[in-house]
Amino acid sequence: MQGLRDKAATPDEVALLREEAERVLGACVGELCEAGKLSPGGVIVLGCSTSEVAGGRIGKYSVPDFGAAIAEGMIAACKAHGMRPAFQCCEHLNRAIVMEEDLLKELGLTRVHAVPKPKAGGSVPAAAWKILGHPALAMAIQADAAIDVGDTLVGMQIRPVAVPLRPSCPTLGHARVVMAYSRWPLIGGERAEYR
């Protein structure tokens, strides 16, 4: 995919990105589940800059059509691995998290009132809001794992202790992909016993 500058994404570019997103996010979710020994029903947060995916600078070239392709890829990847997706908004919405309403209630998270849009929340969370059955916005979450596409600093949404994991697919479009899973803190020193 060529870097986008001052033009909208073409249908061909969206189709190519959709295929790439399915492949990359499917691999990432699978690798996180395996390395982190994540339990079914766990939560993986995605932070994504479509500006970076398109070859632009974060926050400067939002591509809503790319947002939909990426959100769909993440939802499908999580479903295939028995996980639940969540989507981090940009700083304009204080990095709030889009998720299904039942997940927000189950985790007892603080609900906030806003609807993400491409220029105020981000293209991926805005698309997820439209795709999810009963979307809700939480102030924050302590997820089991996180995927960061385009240096969005999604690490604030993962439960301590975060363990970085190099993905086998290190890019999505033009954006760098990094990820981590969480492990329980080890306490007690040399006399402690761990499972």
- Report if residue 161 sits inside a domain: yes
- Report if residue 190 sits inside a domain: no
pLDDT in tens, 127-185: 999 999 999 999 999 999 999 999 999 999 999 999 999 999 999 999 999 999 999 99
Q: Please compute the mean of the pLDDT values over residues 62-71 and round it to a whole number.
A: 95
Instruction: Classify residue 190 by its DSSP letter.
Output: G
- Report if residue 156 sits inside a domain: yes
* Res. 7: pLDDT tops 90: no
Number of domains in the chain: 1
- Report if residue 82 sits inside a domain: yes
* Of 191 and 72, the one with more pLDDT: 72
pLDDT score recorded for residue 24: 98
- Residue among 11, 13, 1, 8 at smallest CA distance from 55: 1
pLDDT in tens, 27-66: 999 999 999 999 999 999 999 999 999 999 998 888 999 9
Angle at 23 between CA 18 and CA 28, to 5 degrees: 120
* Res. 5: pLDDT tops 50: no
- Report if residue 4 sits inside a domain: no
pLDDT score recorded for residue 11: 94
- Report if residue 3 sits inside a domain: no
* Res. 195: pLDDT tops 80: no
- Report if residue 42 sits inside a domain: yes
* Res. 2: pLDDT tops 60: no
Instruction: Classify residue 120 by its DSSP letter.
Output: B
CATH code for the domain in which residue 152 is found: 3.40.50.10360
Instruction: Classify residue 92 by its DSSP letter.
Output: G
pLDDT score recorded for residue 3: 53
- Report if residue 2 sits inside a domain: no
Task: Provide DSSP, 149-176.
Answer: ESS--GGGGBPSSEEEE--SS-EETTEE
Q: What are residue 14's phi and psi, to 5 degrees?
A: -65, -45
- Residue among 139, 135, 133 at smallest CA distance from 88: 139
Give me the domain span that covers residue 145.
Answer: 11-183
Q: Please compute the mean of the pLDDT values over residues 78-88 and round it to a whole number.
A: 98
* Res. 1: pLDDT tops 80: no
